[in-house]
Chains A and B, each alone.
Chain A
Amino acid sequence: MLELRSVTAGYARNEPVFDDVSLTVTPGEAVGLVGPSGCGKSTLARVAALLHRPDSGAVVLDGEPVRHWRHRAPRAQRTAFGVVFQQPRLSADPRLTLSDLIEEPLRATGRRETARERVAELAGTVGLTQDLLGRRPHEVSDGQLQRACLARALILRPRWLICDEMTAMLDASTTAALVAVVESYRSATGAGLLAVGHDRTLLERWCDHTVHWENLTASPTPGNSL
């Protein structure tokens, strides 16, 4: 159970991006979150993935309130989340090849031995050829890079997937392929999904239920009540 309880978060003091937002994702459930651009849904996704400390409110993971964020969060808690961001270019270290990129979480958690076979297995799942795995991010397309980023998010077998506008930069066929990969992973493992986006049609078809940003905030501030 992943619960966000009346969370307020922002990047500057006294200037919250959003105010008093609550959201719950149960295991195995796919929740879509639709909102206009700039409303704070990406910030909410970062809070949910323990990547941004909220100003107030609580994130409760399996009944236990989260106390530490970013590096300070216990590794088991951090790695329970697989995160895919909107812009694959910015979410890939430009110096790593795609196979290094995908296996990086395994190396970082000291499981280098299994890396090779897991990368090969996941590359097949997300549809990356052996040739592409040896290339660096600037030598592949956005869609191919996003496939690698999804593989990286899945390699530690997370219990929660946070997809922040994962398909915004992609064409229809790549979108369909990546959504299919996420769905087959979820049906195999029973992981929960929080998919954030502005494409209402896609999210309503993809997710078990879709919430709209306006219905989420208890007291919308003038700046984000578009």
Chain B
Amino acid sequence: MTCESPSAGATAEPTPSLTATTPWRSYGGRRRSTRTSRVRVSAVVAGATVLAVLLVPPLVQLDQQAVDLSAELLPPSWAHPFGTDDVGRDLLLRCVYGLRVSLTVGLVAALTAAVLGIAVGATAGALGGWADRAMMRAVDTISSVPHLLLGVFIVAMFRPGVWPVVVSVGLTHWVSTARIVRAEVLSLRSRPYIDAAISGGASRRRIAVRHLIPAVLPQAGLAATLMVPHAMWHESALSFLGLGLPAHLASLGNLIQGARGSLLAGQWWPTLFPGLLIIIPTLAVAGLAGAWRERINPRRRSELML
């Protein structure tokens, strides 16, 4: 309606005014308000998740491993808001503990990946020439193998535990950060201010530490933040395959893996709630990271890098 025959509209109605009724304005306004509400919702959800994970275990003196065979597979009720599992353990408590493990693994793995990615990317970009080409071909080789396959291979080399999972996720997810950092460093190092620093007697290391790394940190930090949900998913996937965390340690992936059987028997709650707890906090983190990206680079549209 808005774009067809402006002359017809002009004759039928008295002078249309260029105020808030013009289509692009109202569109822009609505976009901005959904964006801020998205950020708020994301912040509240992420904050609530972190608080729950930090506060519930020390404050609520309940044993997440407490087995109650008289209360097995109860559907959600006031006593057990998320229901109980096949040996009568409270699923809400299990989910909070599971989220704690998954979130820790996600954060540490993302941090590992970010540090590795920044180191490799900054080195390749700063050195340039054949060193850069060799390092980036190695990066291409690593990224050509599916992440999960490589992750499974790494996990399989160690005894089950938290650290092998962290190492597996960290070692397979630094590649995108390395590419982003290298591209930034390459574009920065031909700037005249790097020339000025060389004339000012700065060593290679000083240029990297003083000028290059601070400049790429916002981008790299963003990549690392977007890596947190990815790492959580990866941990869940490994645990679901039975290769991740040991079965006694509740993680979201383990919970879903353990409840697979009851799903076929019609008990939906032992898989639904851990599943939601994987999706909702990761979307919240991704939403916050997207807002950050729009802040540091308004021209690039934010998208999830999952």
Contacts and interface: CB of A to CB of B under 8 A. Distances in A.
Interface stretch (A74-82, A190-198, A217-225): A74-82
Interface stretch (B65-73, B189-197, B219-227): B189-197
B193 A91 contact: yes
A207 interface: no
Interface in A181-208: none
A51 B193 contact: no
B200 interface: yes
B141 interface: no
Contacts of A109: 200-201
Nearest to B126: A71
Contacts, number: 70
Contacts of B210: 93, 104, 108
Interface string B178-207: 000000000000011101111111111011
B147 interface: no
B201 A95 contact: no
A90 B197 contact: no
Given A90-B191, A95-B214, A104 B199 contact: no
B119 interface: no
B211 interface: yes
B196 A78 contact: no
A51 B192 CA distance: 10
A83 interface: yes
A74 B207 CA distance: 16
A127 interface: no
Interface residues of B, number: 19
A108 B192 contact: no
Contacts of B204: 71
Interface string A94-125: 01000000001100110000000000000000
Contact of B200 (A70, A85, A95, A104): A104
B199 A108 contact: no
A104 B202 CA distance: 9
Given A93-B211, A104-B210, A108-B206, A79 B192 contact: no
19 contacts: A49-B195, A51-B195, A71-B204, A71-B207, A79-B201, A81-B199, A82-B199, A85-B195, A87-B192, A90-B191, A90-B192, A92-B196, A95-B215, A105-B200, A108-B201, A108-B203, A109-B200, A149-B196, A152-B196
* A-B interface, 4 closest residue pairs, ranked by CB to CB distance from nearest: A105-B200, A108-B202, A91-B192, A79-B201
Interface of B: 191-193, 195-204, 206-207, 210-211, 214-215
